[in-house]
Homo-oligomer: A and B are copies of this chain.
Amino acid sequence: MERVPGSFGTSVSFALRIFQLGFSSTSLISMCLDYDFNELSGGCNAYVILWSILHTLADTYSVLLKQLPQKPRVLSIVLAGDVVLSFLSLSGACGAASATEMLLSIDEPMCGDKRCIKYQVSALLAFLCWALFLDSAIFNLWSLYSLFH
């Protein structure tokens, strides 16, 4: 059976997971380093990082050592996780973006010292992370569909 590029265990999926890991950790670090800013967003990012690490390991194993089999049950779990985490990262990104915009619009002194720009970058990275999760989910859905046809 031909594998759908980007689905679980392929090299495209490995690349997607690496980017997800990079974006989510940079977003978390830039948000948490100097101020206890947005707990929602931080919490979401932590789950995203855990899930990405798990998948990066699985994909590395599958790409470098031995191709993992694509079973419907495994693909369904991966798909469900991707969908849930795409919702989580979108909610974190929107929360961070909205709170930052609100702070900027009311001229809070908290926003001085380029702090708010840092938060905006963090929200942007979380949005990118969401887009990558959506890609992973679509590829895995496609792969799951092609398993039955």
| Residues on A facing B (Cβ under 8 Å) | 38, 40, 87, 90-99, 101-103, 106, 108, 110, 148-149
Contacts and interface: CB of A to CB of B under 8 A. Distances in A.
Q: Which of the listed residues A92, A94, A148 has the most CB atoms from chain B within 10 Å of its own CB?
A: A94
A122 to B, nearest CB: 13
Contacts of A93: 91
Which 4 A-B residue pairings sit nearest by Cβ, starting from the closest? A95-B98, A94-B94, A91-B94, A99-B102
* Assembly stoichiometry (copies): 2
Contact of A99 (B90, B98, B148, B149): B98
Contacts of A108: 106
A40 B98 contact: yes
A87 B127 CA distance: 12
Contacts of A87: 87, 90
A13 B106 CA distance: 42
9 contacts: A87-B87, A90-B90, A91-B93, A91-B94, A94-B98, A95-B95, A95-B97, A96-B98, A98-B98
